[in-house]
Amino acid sequence: MIVAIDGPAASGKGTLARRIAAHYGLPCLDTGLLYRGVGRIMLDRGFDLANVAIAAAIAENLDLADLDPDRLRDRATGEAASVVAAHGPVRSALLDLQRAFAGQPGGAVLDGRDIGTVIAPSAEVKIFVTASPAERARRRFRELVGRGDLADTAEAEAAVLADIQKRDERDSSRADAPLVVAPGATVLDTTDLGPDAAFAAALALVEAVRGPARP
């Protein structure tokens, strides 16, 4: 069974995907890491993020084994990922890799922004995870402060909110695979839910299709 989890930045979709995958013993792919990987390489090599040809070439040669999640979580990489993800050739270059992961025997859990619409439109379970921009900015801000990437100031928090709003606009308005609720997806608003409550709600959606995990 394929579980497709989509949603905007800092909605909690990645945490839910990992917990659902662990619960059912399924492989899990944070597809955002692919775009973060491309963006990070572009930044490290001093390439212009708007250079579609170079970004696509990097995407075509990307290896999952080379992605270091810890190094790809900073604010600059997230912004770069949002820029390169808007390039159609980059998305095309990463399409087969993502579909191959989704097509593994036994199924998989994938989270991103176009899983239920493009990568795995026939997924048995589709969840669109969201939260208010203010709440998502608060979560991302606390994460960045906790890692030492940002100072704990009102100005810094306001800047994170501005980044979230800018990414939402870019993700939802891009011509190729915009962020939308996939047909058949259930919207899960986590604005007022803690991690455990959000997981319980998501798990209920999966179990409505699959049934309780067997011991």
Place of tokens 């808007």: 86
pLDDT in tens, 32-90: 899 999 999 999 999 999 999 999 999 999 988 888 888 898 888 988 998 999 899 99
Q: For residue 49, is it within any domain?
A: yes
b/e sequence 143-182, b meaning 16+ C-beta within 10 Å: ebbeeeebeeeeeebeebbebbeebbebbeebeebebebb
Q: For residue 214, is it within any domain?
A: no
CATH number at residue 118: 3.40.50.300
For residue 5, report the phi and psi dihedrals to the nearest 5 degrees. Answer: -120, 115
Number of domains observed in the structure of the chain: 1
Distance CA(187)–CA(189), nearest Å, equals 6
Q: For residue 215, is it within any domain?
A: no
Q: Given pLDDT bands bounded at 50, 70 and 90, which one contains residue 8?
A: very high
According to DSSP, residue 85 is labeled T
What average pLDDT does range 128-142 have in this prediction?
93
- At 183, list the tokens: 């047909």
Q: For residue 213, is it within any domain?
A: no
pLDDT in tens, 150-203: 888 999 999 999 989 988 898 888 878 888 999 999 999 999 999 999 999 999
